[in-house]
A and B are shown apart, each in its own frame.
Chain A
Amino acid sequence: MIDLIRNYWLYFLVGQYPQGPLGGLALTLLLGVAALGLALPLGVVLGLARTSSHRVIRWPVTALVYVVRGTPLLMVIFWAYFFLPAITGQQTSQFNTMLAALVLFNGAYLAEIVRAGIQGIPRGQSECARALGLGYWQSMRAVILPQALRNMLPSLVAQFVTTLKETSLGYIIGLSEVSFIAGQINAQVLTKPVAVYTILALTYFVLCFGLSRIVRLLEKRTQRSSVVMP
């Protein structure tokens, strides 16, 4: 196993960079951050739509969220793979395909987290904001969303961990994220599949477990500083 690590560690971490596109663990992280970064605004928009009092906004978004959440991510990836080139008129890179699929998929999940966060803010807060004369958008931006997002932080980090695991499905469309690289290494070495895949598992474990610990810490901190209402 030591030989394995010594020979392939760089390939595992960054793929063929700089002689080729970025790959490996670096790509996994990049994809994860980009996906969640873009999914979050989408999730906020969809979450707001889910809490809207106008049915004409609420129903289509609810339907969209249910459809996306009832479909396997792999299916969403295939949809993106086959139809993004048709929509954009050009060849879509594997990275962008994967990114689009992840943003849509996680946006739908985040919509539910945002919705729960908004509905978890006591009604008195929005009533008071409206009583002061703040309009709907003003109340949301100044009073409700800041509190909701703060409360949602542990869930958001947990969703980030899930997104990182989801990047592994890029394997299917040949994206050279870390699972694909592991497959490549195994194809070259052939005699040590257990070692290769154990290292892969350990890599994910360290990454995701570490982040989960941060979630735990954040949860403890938000509990301590929450407002105590009489």
Chain B
Amino acid sequence: MPIDLSIVLSWEFGQWLLRGFLLSIELTLVTLVLAFPLATFVALLRLAPWKLFRGLGFAYVEGIRNVPLLAHLMFWYFGATQLLPEGARAWLYEHDAETVCAIIALTLYTAAFMAEDVRSGIRSIPSAQLEAARALGFGYLRSMRLVVLPQAVRITVPPLISQTLSLWKNTSIATVIGTAELMYQAQRVETATFRGVETFAVTTVAYLTVSGIITLIGVLYQRRYPVRAA
């Protein structure tokens, strides 16, 4: 069969793909908004002066990171939902359980990786910086806010952009629990049209476009705010 993009891009199927694409973007953005604060919290846990807190942070990061995202998705969608009381479960299934579970799994997973990047960023600022700020008379929190964190942010942004790229690609895995994001829709279109090449080509281009944009943002950021040694 000769290659024919028009079927795939036609109104009906094109719409499916577009909706999937938009949901993928939505998953990415929502997860980012939720995961980053969680990641910062976990990072601070790991840096806390109390062993219990450090242990909790460590347990979270290692427990989540060493399990594949697929297993996380299956746990939340097939497992955790069964733990809910009958009424809550019914409500959930009516309100896009697939998307909700995908967001929960993606958020916890992404936050675990981001927490490590945030922690590295904070730790990479030499303690001499904090000491210098204290020596000038600033309190602990103000020193952090004025001296350590601004420098840490600059170092942390590139790895976080890298995590965003991973997140964007990871949204594709949500298809296994039926979330109607781009990969799911691509499979639907392929089944309906039997045009595998065209469908997957368009889908691949869609993924690459956003990947390219994210990478570009990263490159521009590093050019604009290069990491300079103290």
Contacts and interface: CB of A to CB of B under 8 A. Distances in A.
Contact of A194 (B63, B79, B169, B171): B79
Interface string B59-93: 00011011111111011001110110000000000
Interface residues of B, number: 37
Given A75-B203, A78-B200, A183-B74, A194 B83 contact: yes
Interface residues of A, number: 36
A222 B34 CA distance: 37
A153 interface: no
A72 B212 contact: no
A3 B83 CA distance: 20
Interface in B173-222: 173, 175-176, 183, 186, 196-197, 200, 203-204, 207-208, 211-212, 215
Contact of A70 (B63, B72, B211): B211
A200 B71 contact: yes
Contacts of B62: 205, 209, 212
Contacts of A172: 175-176
B129 interface: no
A166 interface: yes
A196 B71 CA distance: 11
A8 to B, nearest CB: 16
A126 to B, nearest CB: 26
A207 B68 CA distance: 11
Contacts of A212: 62, 66
B183 A75 contact: yes
A71 B208 contact: yes
Contacts of A125: none
Nearest to A74: B172
Contacts of B196: 82
Contacts of A207: 66
A197 B63 contact: no
Contact of B68 (A183, A194, A204): A204
A153 B63 CA distance: 24
Given A75-B172, A193-B79, A201 B204 contact: no
A193 B82 contact: yes
B201 to A, nearest CB: 9
Nearest to A205: B66
Given A75-B203, A75-B207, A197 B71 contact: yes
A58 interface: no
B170 interface: yes
Given A171-B176, A183-B74, A194-B83, A75 B200 contact: yes
Given A194-B82, A197-B79, A166 B68 contact: yes
A183 B74 CA distance: 8
A186 B72 CA distance: 15
Interface of B: 62-63, 65-72, 74-75, 78-80, 82-83, 165, 169-173, 175-176, 183, 186, 196-197, 200, 203-204, 207-208, 211-212, 215
Q: Which 4 A-B pairs have the closest CB atoms?
A: A70-B211, A208-B66, A165-B68, A72-B172
